[in-house]
Structure 1
């Protein structure tokens, strides 16, 4: 049986990226993203549903996200769904959450809503991801 784990979201950051490093120095950024879905009810009333998701980015792309993205910034994320499990140090309870492990993050323009083609260093995070910076280490590595 074939399986597929692919997620593509466009939305706005709900908080600034938190940039950390693994014990071996690999950069990891985590940020929240709000993706809106607009629809109409059967009665014709306009509605909006918002999905809030955490996004994890590795490598050079994580550094770029930490430098150039801020709360409220629009972004496109292409990645896969991952389950994260841990034990709460305060309560001792087992916790879990779903997050998107990004293979590619594209910065979008705030004014026009289009893709930003180049960042201050000449590459968008999307270009970095296509060149291989977006691939992170395996899920067994933890952030310091």
Structure 2
């Protein structure tokens, strides 16, 4: 019997600084508020922006890293799953939607002058061969440029 797939990929900016709490057992739980914005044209041809806000939770070492390095406004890539929940408060049932992060990558937009870490990838998954077994951050290589290969063309010549 086939299992389902519950996968979420988000790229957005933090709406506030991360909030980290610890369980009695010492495990970090960090909550982020992540904004994603899409643009579309309305019937008159004007561009309309729509921003969606996502509550993201990171656990364990991933939560500790996010709490230490991420700051409001920082762009981040999140990969994880969606989780729905509910709770009763004053006799009223409230519903929640959370993104439970398995992987996180800090992207551009951080202010390095304030001590933000360089672009790194962190993950909680064990099945990723690119992730060191020690859980240490993976160093990113600079992307190759056309001049690195002696190519004699401009970016305008690339079809994408």
User: TM-score, normalized by length of structure 2?
Assistant: 0.68
Matched residue, 2:44 = 43
* Equivalence map 1:34-113=2 (5 Å): 34-88=35-89, 91-110=90-109
Aligned length: 122
1:2 offset after TM fit, Å?
Answer: 4.8
User: TM-score, normalized by length of structure 1?
Assistant: 0.75
CA deviation map 1:18-75 (0-9, x unaligned)? 1011221111100100100011123311111111110000111101110111111111
Task: Give unpaired runs (5+ residues) of structure 2.
Answer: 111-116, 136-160
Task: Give unpaired runs (5+ residues) of structure 1.
Answer: 112-118, 134-144
Matched residue, 2:9 = 8
1:3 offset after TM fit, Å?
Answer: 2.2
1:87 offset after TM fit, Å?
Answer: 2.3
What is the CA RMSD across the aligned residues, in angstroms? 2.3
Runs of 4+ in 1 over 6 A off after TM superposition: none
CA deviation map 1:92-140 (0-9, x unaligned)? 32211111001111111117xxxxxxx47xx82x23445476xxxxxxx
